[in-house]
Structure 1
């Protein structure tokens, strides 16, 4: 039997992982910063533990953002030598582009096992070079990693991006957080400049906005539920720095309206019928899984593009989506940068969805429980970004049991 979400629910979601990890790195460089509403995700916990670790070998497990940000951070920590390692999947995730960029700045980094992949041996030193060139279509985390350490570099940073820039909202988030603490930056065309600043006037108290990526699963639940369903989520801003806040606009296509009030958002399902949709998610690829599953649950088709970074995430998310949606009865085609889903007339019941050690696979498929019974394998993987996910679904009336 499917689970039915309560007609009215209220959920508090912890701070954005993306904002938290950026601010934790800035806090490590500027201790006058104090943070409220930090993320309780595994990735952010890994960042906290790594930054305070005295061990010469630092294991960040599955935390991709942490690996990239800390590679830049430790490169600029004069006299600090570490080996930065992670899970078996982390050792398969490429990092050569970031390493080469850091070497342009003068960093001393060596590959411990395989060329182009973690683990990395990093010998921190004063980085005096300030000009770096990167392909613009790389993961925005590479770019943000450089920007976050830029104010501490002897001569700041002048970063040139070649080609079409990927995930601009995440770059803008990083620059906005730098600006919030008083760092001067300029983003003009394909060039980003950051002015050096060794110290801040403090103290500075910053509050992390709740995570919009986590909100996406409740948008999906609302879309799959009956008209009149309402879900209130906190704490959110209408002028969010997070690229995934585009959810509020995208989910209008699924009959879900978003109302902002008192640092909360009210999601309300208003209409049934929708048409096949076509979206370029280049600026917000983390919500692609949620949108694809929502479309399937509603029986409509979709064509999603701008997804080339999904192949190097916790798993190859495009192939994983194709495999699991097909199990449920979908007709799906993927390329290296797109996903096309055909309209469908039903969902196979009691299918067991594999999650591939990927938190977003687990959470993206869970809303289908509004329509049919579904099994999620390795369900605890959600702790990577949203440890309270299953308890929050229970509070909404979903029937959840371990298998």
Structure 2
């Protein structure tokens, strides 16, 4: 599907309620499978979460997660501790080129029986579930926090618990802290001191009812819309906690630098206000929040300010190489983006380009949604726009609610 976004000013004063966090949902779904007495409300309805639910409920000998990276990592750990069950875990062609060797090596050191079906270090995997006592292992922290979270979640099954010694600089630390916070609420005993994490399984469950907070990553696209809107434009989003487990709640701080003020009001709603002019340049390290980089750099492009973001080494192994994808698509719009293996630098200068450019999405949901806020400045076409179902299935419908002209075509 292609969508045509006709240049539109955002309708001020509207309210949207966004679906639950994908990250929280997938963690709680795995814990619910390990502890069936758990009740989880407001679970996200995205493709990634559906893939997780389907995989957890499957009794089949093969499980296909398609493009769902979180499900691939979490289910690898889950099936490794499912006794007397053998599963081949596979995904899309792109998934089979996303490395998983760090997680597999860690699980093998705990006694897991996992083999590579095709290419060493990559899915698909053949997993024979065992009972593991747990123990102490080393693991790289520099590649993906999802490897670490996967191990921490299944550590609740280990008689001796689990101690992880993290090697290297920690990437996406807030996602690890989210996992530990959920385990603490469950009743597990956890600690995170320096480069060492310890989890001891719960003796009794302290909490059995969880409500998933709305997704802060989904909110990022509306922060971008506000940043590119006239002064005084407002938008209300729900439902969000002032103290959130989600690392992407850093949006409040990040977009304050781009002219968007966040006000928390009664009932867990946030009011976004285009309050003041943005700063003359944006410079930040996104090591803890790399998934926000695409949205922020497009905001800076629309505002006409230079932007430098570091700490982006994980973006090269996402749904696509996001740094290259950003460079390609901003160039179509006259942008000058320079990239390295872990950073990007956007020049404030723009070239004049023909109107009506089509943005390619590279099977990456964030590419589609990150570029959409430019509708406040130009007509735009988004190719393969249905890719948003991976994390936000009703994104285009929600844009229409805000007065944006969205025309869909096959």
TM range (shorter): over 0.9
Structure 2 Cα separation of the partners of residues 45 and 228 of structure 1: 38
Q: Bigger relative contact order, structure 1 or 2, given CA contacts below 8 A and separation 6+?
A: 2
Of the three residues 31, 39, 50, the one matched with 1:34 is 39
Provide the C-alpha distance between the structure 1 equivalents of 2:286 and 2:294, rounded to a whole number of angstroms. Answer: 11
Q: Decide whether the 8 Å contact of 1:126 with 1:154 is kept in 2.
A: no
1:53 to 37, 58, 67: 58
**2:378: which partner in 1?**
372
CA shift for structure 1 position 346? 6.6
Q: Choose from 219, 223, 248 the match for 1:219.
A: 223
Of 299, 305, 315, 1:300 maps to: 305
TM value normalised by structure 1 = 0.98
Task: State the partner residue of 2:122.
Answer: 117
Query: What's the CA shift for 1:162?
Result: 1.3
Alignment of 1:175-214 (within 5 A): 175-197=180-202, 200-201=204-205, 204-214=208-218
Stretches of structure 1 that go unaligned for 5 or more consecutive residues are: none
The aligned counterpart of 1:80 is 85
Report SS of the residue matched to 1:218. helix
Structure 1, residues 275-325: CA drift from partner, whole Å, max 9, x if none? 111010000001000000000011111000000000000000000000001
Contact preservation (8 Å) 2:187, 2:207: no
Among 13, 28, 31, the residue aligned to 1:8? 13
Contact 2:81 2:154 in 1 (8 A): yes
Give the superposed CA RMSD: 1.2
Cα distance in 2 for residues equivalent to 1:187 and 1:230:
39
Q: Helix, strand or coil for the counterpart of 2:305? A: coil
- Which structure 2 residues correspond to residues 4-403 of structure 1 after superposition, within 5 A? 4-197=9-202, 200-201=204-205, 204-261=208-265, 262-345=267-350, 348=353, 349-403=355-409
| Distance (Å, rounded) in 1 between the aligned partners of 2:201 and 2:17 | 37
Q: Distance in 2 between matches of 1:171 and 1:34?
A: 22
Q: Secondary structure at the residue paired with 1:401? A: strand
- 2: CA distance between counterparts of 1:151 and 1:201? 11
Aligned equivalents of 2:333, 2:207: Cα separation in 1: 53
Q: Paired residues, what number?
A: 402
Deviation of the 1:98 alpha carbon: 0.5
- Distance across 2 between alignment mates of 1:126 and 1:347: 62
Q: Is the 8 A contact 1:34 1:203 kept in 2?
A: no
Change (3 A) 1:201 1:278: closer
The 3-state SS of whatever aligns with 1:259 is strand
Q: 1:333 to 1:99 in 2, by over 3 A?
A: same
Please say if residues 32 and 203 of structure 1, whose CA atoms lie closer than 8 Å, have aligned partners that are also in contact.
no
